[in-house]
Structure 1
């Protein structure tokens, strides 16, 4: 072949490759299950292993506009990989049935495995009140792996019963790999783990979890993260969790931990973690634990940390406003770098406003100092508060506490009823009532 003809052949080949790469925008209206035939043109099945791969190119949508309920991806007993191309949008509508079977993206059973690769994955839901929906759900030992670059989980259904990501079952897991640059969730509850595990593993990536009640109707807001027996790890440059509006009048805790019959391990390993919650930044509830059990909770922060709690204009008149709250036994909250704890409430209640309340044998440890800011209209304003046998607050470095109360008692650092408070460094306390 002459050089001229060879050049033309190469050019034509490149053009064809570009056309194939870009692909055409296509709307699909059938669920991906690994067993269907609607995707034969982009589907490969390994004849030996039975593994299934779908390869999308360009930008595409999976949506069934004519169905009352629709799950774009439902995998059970299959190993499935979806290459999302440049962008794949999955639009589902919740079934409103048992949580076991729900999820816009559902992988269920110990042999259910789902992996995403490629570019951007957008997942939205159209479920309306009062039905429930779990947008991404790994259940009964299944795994979902996000090896794609960007994942956006849009608003869930129009109530606080929606969850962005749900992991249920002892061996179930959801993993965002080193290739996952960004995860964004806007749902009433961001991530819920019960018995399984969740991890975001890209040390250069970012996680944003928001509950914007103004985006939904009939929504007072759930927690950003809820763990009820299981593990969660968030690496990255920055993790931001925001569950309350700008006025602090609606929304749940940024991080809520319910101690049941399994240990809880939460590792916040981002360079910077910012938590903003309604009434509580972190709340550990051990009220459901049998006193004879030895259930433990460990919450660890590796990077710089800011935790803020708001409780304004009647968000919840029956509880206080506490940035870090552990009312129950065997919760250990550890800060490896400096932490800033802020609590602000204008509710004039009999309850406490505090940077931290550590009780019943739980502990808070800060290795590089604490800055605590409390502003309350109620009767009590505490910077750091520890109570109960075995309870511990242990701070190394500068402890700076600023407490303002509109009408009541204020205390910078308080430990009593068998609790221990260690201040290994300078302590600065300012108060005004």
Structure 2
């Protein structure tokens, strides 16, 4: 039973590396997990479908955030940013990558649109990347850094939701901590992400590289680039107000759906977007974010199959029974189990409650401090976002970089982010669990 997680995740990874569509790979992994646990194919599919509702709120929020991002793009305000980046950063590879990482960071905490900004901002920059021979793998790493690191370390926006998820999961598992402790616990793992970003920018992808034509198929984005000749106007002021409204509502309510709705409503009430374009906005939002939303639903279905089989708990119990009471070994094995689990499920928010229920009793018995346990849980959750084929933090960058069909999801996004983030994140999280 304990090998179900390992084998099913390997099925998903191998199929994805062979360029099978990630949704098909997830379904195949779920069926394999069900069959190995004694379920029939029909029962496995039924269980998979029943579990898809677990991420329905996230999927809906992505669709609405996509629609909000579309309304922002209609005003041409992102064209101003693209125009500025082209004028100031042409030929400056390192600075451009750091700016992209910074913009991605803002999407987690200050302007909570998450990955919805990528299909708007990145496609117009692809020609600039190609003219500079900028390695798109470096851009993917920069984007994933900005989509993951801020919510790990900063308790605002998505970071607040992540920290609350850890807090609630640990309390439910029998360990009470302070919210401020989560920030302290995630500093060292977050530094691992910073190290990975610098290694990618300054060492691994420093040399020029031409995009591989047709590497990603036919492209993933529908729509045209922003107008590069637009000038700042009143509509842009109202757009900024709408963005702030979305941010405030999301922070106050801790609800992405309400935040996205607030932004959309403001855009229509301010007549920035005509009411008659309402259907088109939602349709374009679905085109932009629908695939990613459905992948998240599929990942939730896979998580349900894994939970029902009891494979994760069996793997943890089997591992803990073999490693004795050595803290270093226990932490290493728990992170390895977390890595395998989150690679398949692909979401830190979805796996934290599962991992916390298993980690807390084992770690308390082994004498880990609350800070160390928090670091283990937070790191294990983030491992899934940083390098999983099913993660929105890897799907999002691919959605923008493959607009012209020249960027492969697995080889140009997932493999680079896994190498540069999962490995240092694993190491730094392991160190944090031993010194905190």
Quickly name the TM-score band, shorter chain normalised: under 0.3
Higher relative contact order (CA 8 A, sep 6+): 2
- TM-score (normalised: structure 1): 0.20
- TM-score (normalised: structure 2): 0.20
- Structure showing greater radius of gyration is 1
Higher strand proportion, which one? 1
